[in-house]
């Protein structure tokens, strides 16, 4: 069994180049499968979700080849069917993008239920509602569901909640539907704009992505192109937060600073200095942190995916901080683990009340999802003694090589691998 061991490190210092966005890449890979010709994507990280998408693609006759670091060639011209192994589909969240992407091409998609990070409740009712509005028929089975459509027809779709996944999925399906689709109350995340930009390069007619109303004029065919994914704003945000946690100076390069607007504003409020220079951001902290209040919301609000690393930072800010997650009110698994490290945090109905400034101590803790993992890693950098973090496979869904990256900034961090006592360790940490 593998785990990550972190020791207290003050003053992380250095520069990190930010890779392509995980969440964008997942949508771009599905979108590329809609093309009639090969597509080349740059900035696709070598993460666990990418690997399972390659396995699925191979099963259904789509060629995906990694040519150079970050660059991927996709040839969807030989797609045989869209019958996707349920087990593989449930190893990541966005298997449902293959419904939107392949329905018009294949007429029928069979796929397992989505996996991904588990925050108790992650419904897909808005995906179903949007695809049904375009003419899809759903049949649900225990392990998988089937979606069929002889023809997709454009429609007016009003989302009941703002959802990034359903906005992307509806947009994918509408691109090859007959006539016009209008998506209202759409999510505005940069990953949606990125997906629309790729599709438009392929010959789609999408306007309004990045606003709450997206219009899609259906087209009959899509051509190949070369496209680069946007940088990962969530990885960048967590590195910037690490400057505050350790009292260090961190520069993230190759980012789009506007994508991090709400995170940078919150860091400044907490007392972390932020400087933007072109496509780079430097965060520095001399250690005087202030408690604050954070409410997550959909983009451009404060991202739910940055709530966990920020919570680690707020354990270091003297005073009372309040963190509410309005997107996923149950997304607080990391809090139980932070408490094992001595953090003084009370949880009440979707809100964490943090009494910051109490010293943290290293312990055995378990990462239950990607961002809980990064939260515990940051807490480990601030804690006395050693922190051992299990659940490494969650890090592998979001990061290519997190240990190396933090080591290059001076962090005392190691990946450990041993079969000895492993089961016992896992049990202790998961409690
Ligand atoms: C692969 C990917 O891109 N993952 C991101 C994406 O997930 P994902 O796309 O799954 O999240 P959504 O944007 O869809 O979820 C936003 C909100 O809508 C709700 N909802 C969603 C769909 C639906 O059919 N019905 C419904 O009620 C969700 O419960 C949540 O409260 O956005 C989340 C919110 O920014 C991020 O945490 C994830 O990192
Ligand atoms: C929630 C996340 O991922 P996913 O939606 O892929 O589970 C995340 O990236 O934090």
Residue pointed to by tokens 């109350």: 185
- Would you say 189 is a known binding-site residue? no
Instruction: Say if residue 431 is exposed, middle or buried (CB neighbours under 10 Å; 0-12, 13-18, 19+).
Output: exposed
* Maximum alpha-carbon separation in the chain: 62
Cα 44 to Cα 62, 78, 364, 399: the distances in Å are 17, 22, 33, 12
Regarding whether 58 and 37 lie in a shared domain, the answer is yes
CA 371 / ligand 2 centre spacing (Å) = 8
Any ligand 2 atom below 6 A from CB of 232? no
User: For residues 88 and 70, is the Cβ–Cβ distance under 8 A?
Assistant: no
For the entire predicted model, the pTM comes to: 0.96
CA 369 / ligand 2 centre spacing (Å) = 8
CA 375 / ligand 2 centre spacing (Å) = 14
Regarding whether 250 and 150 lie in a shared domain, the answer is no
Regarding whether 192 and 50 lie in a shared domain, the answer is yes
Any ligand 1 atom below 6 A from CB of 114? no
Instruction: Please give the chain's pLDDT, 431 residues, in tens.
Output: 899 999 999 999 999 999 999 999 999 999 999 999 999 999 999 999 999 999 999 999 999 999 977 799 999 999 989 999 999 999 999 999 999 999 999 999 999 999 887 877 899 999 999 999 999 999 999 999 999 999 999 999 999 999 999 999 999 999 999 999 999 999 999 999 999 999 999 999 999 999 999 999 999 999 999 999 999 999 999 999 999 999 999 999 999 999 999 999 999 999 999 999 999 999 999 878 999 999 999 999 999 999 999 999 999 999 999 999 999 999 999 999 999 999 999 999 889 999 999 899 999 999 999 999 999 999 999 999 999 999 999 999 999 999 999 999 999 999 999 865 554 555 555 55
Q: Which of 49, 117, 194, 232 is catalytic?
A: 117
Regarding whether 295 and 267 lie in a shared domain, the answer is yes
pLDDT of 422 reads: 55
Ligand minimally distant from the alpha carbon of residue 29 = 1
**Structure tokens given for 7:** 């020791």
- Would you say 212 is a known binding-site residue? no
Domain count, the chain: 2
Regarding whether 36 and 167 lie in a shared domain, the answer is yes
Regarding whether 121 and 188 lie in a shared domain, the answer is yes
Distance CA 340, CA 282 (A): 32
- Would you say 305 is a known binding-site residue? yes
Regarding whether 32 and 13 lie in a shared domain, the answer is no
Rounded to 10 degrees, what is the CA torsion of 302, 305, 306, 312? 130
Regarding whether 266 and 120 lie in a shared domain, the answer is no
pLDDT of 80 reads: 87
Regarding whether 235 and 172 lie in a shared domain, the answer is no
Q: What is the CATH number of the domain that holds 378?
A: 3.65.10.10
Give the residue from 228, 243, 274 where a domain finishes: 228
Cα 347 to Cα 73, 270, 318, 332, 336: the distances in Å are 46, 21, 18, 8, 9
CA 52 / ligand 2 centre spacing (Å) = 15
Distance CA 85, CA 253 (A): 38
Regarding whether 168 and 48 lie in a shared domain, the answer is yes
Give the residue from 228, 247, 272 where a domain finishes: 228
Give the residue from 208, 228, 248 where a domain finishes: 228
- Would you say 300 is a known binding-site residue? no
Regarding whether 272 and 175 lie in a shared domain, the answer is no
Residue 117 annotated among the catalytic residues of the structure: yes
Any ligand 2 atom below 6 A from CB of 116? yes
Regarding whether 250 and 354 lie in a shared domain, the answer is yes
Could you list the residue range(s) of the whole structural domain that residue 395 is in?
A: 2-19+231-430
């Amino acid at each position: 069994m593998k785990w990550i061991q972190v020791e207290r490190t003050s003053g992380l210092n250095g520069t990190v180049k930010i890779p392509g966005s995980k969440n964008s890449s997942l949508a771009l890979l599905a979108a590329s499968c809609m093309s009639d010709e090969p597509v080349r994507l740059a900035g696709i990280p070598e993460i666990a979700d990418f690997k399972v998408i390659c396995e699925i693609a191979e099963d259904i006759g789509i060629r995906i080849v990694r040519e150079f670091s970050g660059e991927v060639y996709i040839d969807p011209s030989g797609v045989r069917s869209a019958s996707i192994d349920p087990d593989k589909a449930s190893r990541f969240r966005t298997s449902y993008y293959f419904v939107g992407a392949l329905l018009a091409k294949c007429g029928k998609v069979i796929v397992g239920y989505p996996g991904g990070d588990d925050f108790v409740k992650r419904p897909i009712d808005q995906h179903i509602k949007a695809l049904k509005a375009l003419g899809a028929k759903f049949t649900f089975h225990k392990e998988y569901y089937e979606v069929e459509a002889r023809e997709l027809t454009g429609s007016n779709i009003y989302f009941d909640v703002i959802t990034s996944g359903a906005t992307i999925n509806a947009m994918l399906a509408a691109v090859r539907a007959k006539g016009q689709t209008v998506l209202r109350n759409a999510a505005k995340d940069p990953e949606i704009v990125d997906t629309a930009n790729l599709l438009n390069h392929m010959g789609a007619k999408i306007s309004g992505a990045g606003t709450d109303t997206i219009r899609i004029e259906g087209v009959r065919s899509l051509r190949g192109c070369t496209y680069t994914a946007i940088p990962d704003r969530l990885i960048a945000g967590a590195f910037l937060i690490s400057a505050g946690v350790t009292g260090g100076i961190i520069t993230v390069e190759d980012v789009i600073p506007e994508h991090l607007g709400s995170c940078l504003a919150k860091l400044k409020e907490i007392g972390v200095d932020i400087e933007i220079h072109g496509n780079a951001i430097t965060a520095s902290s001399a250690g005087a942190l202030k408690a604050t209040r954070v409410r997550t919301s959909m983009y451009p609000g404060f991202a739910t995916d940055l709530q966990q690393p920020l919570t680690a930072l707020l354990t270091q800010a003297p005073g009372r901080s309040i963190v509410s997650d309005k997107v996923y009110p149950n997304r607080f698994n990391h809090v139980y683990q932070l408490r094992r490290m001595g953090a003084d945090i009370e949880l009440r109905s979707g809100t964490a009340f943090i009494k910051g400034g109490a010293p943290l101590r290293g312990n055995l803790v378990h990462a239950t999802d990607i961002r809980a993992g990064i939260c515990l890693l940051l807490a480990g950098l601030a804690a006395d003694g050693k922190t051992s973090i299990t659940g490494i496979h969650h890090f592998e869904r979001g990061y290519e090589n997190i240990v190396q990256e933090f080591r290059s900034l001076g962090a005392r961090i190691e990946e450990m691998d041993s079969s000895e006592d492993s089961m016992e360790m896992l049990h202790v940490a998961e409690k």
